[in-house]
Amino acid sequence: MITQKMKYALKALLVLADEARADRPEPLTIEEIARRAATPKRFLEHILLDVRNAGVIASTRGRSGGYSLVKAPRDVSISDLLRKIDGPIAPLTCLSRSAYQRCEDCTDEATCRIRKVFAEVFWSYLVIIDSLTLEDMLHAGTAEKVLGPAEGA
């Protein structure tokens, strides 16, 4: 599961990506991003700082300042962003790439059945999530109109 913070970050990035595709893109204020993304402004300020620190957006000061996308949507990795906003994404610490820790109650990782089952599921998830970009999310709405919403997700 992703956190609400990550959902707000993605909504804001989608707004900024849409603006970047406009004829004359301009930086957007936090107020404008919050309005377009239907997110609370007070949370968005901190979230946008994290996204800026991740190198995905830039902020400009001044009267015509605001936030703008500095990477092409195809170059914004959703899994990288997930890790920077939410932290490790592995279901078990012993499966984490960035925050590996041996489970306290584990006597042998090689024979741990819990680890093996979750590893199979997690690696399948990683294949998909590691290939997902902001560009894919921009086009997600158009695919849904053709295919219909995902059921049971």
Q: What pLDDT score does 149 carry?
A: 55
**CA separation, residue 125 to residues 21, 51, 84 (Å):** 30, 23, 18
Q: What pLDDT score does 101 carry?
A: 84
Q: What are phi and psi of 60, to 5 degrees?
A: -125, 135
Residues of the chain falling short of pLDDT 70: 141-153
Q: What pLDDT score does 147 carry?
A: 45
Q: What pLDDT score does 144 carry?
A: 47
Within 10 Å of residue 132's Cβ, how many Cβ atoms?
16
Question: What is the pTM for the complete model shown?
Answer: 0.82
How many whole angstroms separate alpha carbon 44 and alpha carbon 50?
A: 10
